[in-house]
């Protein structure tokens, strides 16, 4: 027998036919069922709406496409639950995910509980996706406990806290969950709970992975500047995904590599930075090594590209004059 929670689950969707069936089926199989499930179809052109109709949920259609921030706000506006659980359509929750989230958010002062990704993808589409999923699993579980990082892929938040923060900024097409954290009302704790788990279907090709990281990192510089200009924002804007040591080491490898063209022995310099990057990324590489040394080497290389892209894009974003001008 399942326990019903006075919760509203909001699932924003855009062309989610590949994963939505598994997402909603996992919701239906929860040991603690939500009072309602709201699927917000953000101008999909595939079978998203038809798939949603096969499940006991309320479907809301948005036209034209407005992005995840608007889709989440639309679902939250009609939700009746005392707690909102935002769930991306490409995540398949473990059966006890909502029950574990309910136990965590019941703690006094806890306003928000965010889950973690499983180490394995929902649908295994190759090594790039396996790397990305493992990376997301490692840093999220490594950040378990109280945090100032806000992510909304699988996250419960008290409705009163969401309302007090003012919802998501609909002008943002990416980074809206990170920006939301800079407006959280004081007095509420955000928890990352590693028992709230879902399998994620992630990017599975290298080009799209790096393009996505470039775009998000460019946006991050703007969000950081905006948060610093906010007069009453006591919260920071950050992701927590990787520390400055890894970013600096990745940049130093690229910057020092040409030295070997001048004097061959200077190749030792980027080699030392490569070792430093490995040390900064040790938990991820060690997790990959548990499978095989070959996989650990592949994960190291992919992570170097990923972090290097993030560092370069953040630098470019920070140097753009428009970032530092006040918004009208």
Q: Which residues fall within 8 angstroms of residue 252, CB to CB, at 6 or more apart? A: 270, 273, 276
> What whole-number distance in Å separates Cα of residue 252 and Cα of residue 135?
22
Q: Which residues fall within 8 angstroms of residue 303, CB to CB, at 6 or more apart? A: 131, 135, 281, 284, 285
Up-side HSE of residue 169: CA atoms within 13 Å toward CB? Answer: 17
Q: Which residues fall within 8 angstroms of residue 134, CB to CB, at 6 or more apart? A: 119, 284, 287, 288, 299
Our CA dihedral for 312, 317, 320, 325, rounded to 10 degrees, sits at -160
The ranges of the chain with pLDDT < 50 are 1, 231-234, 237, 323-324, 327-328
pTM of the model: 0.89
**In a 3-state reduction of DSSP, which class is residue 137?**
helix
| Cβ-contact 30, 55 below 8 angstroms | no
β-strand partners of 3: 32
- The pair of three-digit structure tokens given for residue 182, joined into one six-digit string: 């800079």
pLDDT of the residue at 314: 79
pLDDT per residue over 193-214, tens digit each?
A: 999 999 999 999 999 999 999 8
Of the candidates 277, 273, 244, which has an alpha carbon nearest to the alpha carbon of residue 256? 273
pLDDT per residue over 269-310, tens digit each?
A: 989 999 999 999 999 999 999 999 999 999 999 999 999 998
> What whole-number distance in Å separates Cα of residue 192 and Cα of residue 198?
13
pLDDT of the residue at 223: 66
pLDDT of the residue at 238: 54
């Amino acid at each position: 027998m399942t326990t019903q929670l006075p919760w509203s689950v909001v699932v924003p969707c855009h062309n989610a036919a590949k994963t939505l069936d598994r997402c909603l089926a996992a919701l239906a199989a929860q040991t603690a069922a939500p009072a309602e499930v709201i699927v917000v179809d953000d101008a999909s052109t595939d079978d998203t709406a038809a798939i949603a109709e096969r499940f006991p949920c309320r479907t809301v259609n948005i036209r034209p496409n407005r992005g995840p921030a608007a889709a989440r706000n639309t679902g939250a506006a009609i939700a009746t639950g005392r707690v909102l659980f935002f769930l991306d359509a490409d995540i398949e929750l473990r059966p006890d995910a909502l029950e574990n989230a309910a136990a965590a958010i019941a703690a006094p002062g806890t306003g928000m509980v965010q889950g973690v990704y499983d180490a394995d993808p929902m649908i295994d589409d190759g090594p790039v996706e396996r790397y990305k999923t493992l990376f997301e699993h490692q840093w999220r579980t490594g950040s378990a406990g109280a945090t100032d990082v806000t992510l909304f892929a699988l996250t419960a938040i008290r409705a009163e806290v969401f309302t007090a923060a003012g919802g998501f900024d609909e002008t943002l097409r990416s980074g809206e969950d990170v920006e939301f954290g800079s407006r959280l009302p004081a007095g509420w704790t955000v928890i990352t709970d590693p028992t709230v788990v879902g399998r994620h279907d992630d990017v599975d090709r290298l080009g799209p992975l790096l393009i996505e990281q470039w775009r998000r990192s460019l946006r991050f510089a703007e969000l950081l500047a905006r948060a610093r200009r906010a007069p009453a924002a006591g919260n920071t804007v950050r992701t927590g995904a990787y520390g400055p040591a890894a970013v600096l080491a990745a940049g130093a490898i690229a910057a020092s590599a040409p030295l070997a063209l001048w004097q061959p022995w200077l190749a030792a310099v980027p080699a030392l930075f490569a070792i430093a990057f490995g040390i900064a990324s040790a938990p991820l590489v060690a997790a990959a090594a548990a499978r095989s040394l070959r996989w650990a080497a592949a994960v190291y290389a992919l992570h170097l590209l990923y972090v290097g892209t993030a560092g370069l894009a953040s630098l470019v974003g920070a140097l753009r004059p428009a970032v530092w001008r006040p918004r009208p």
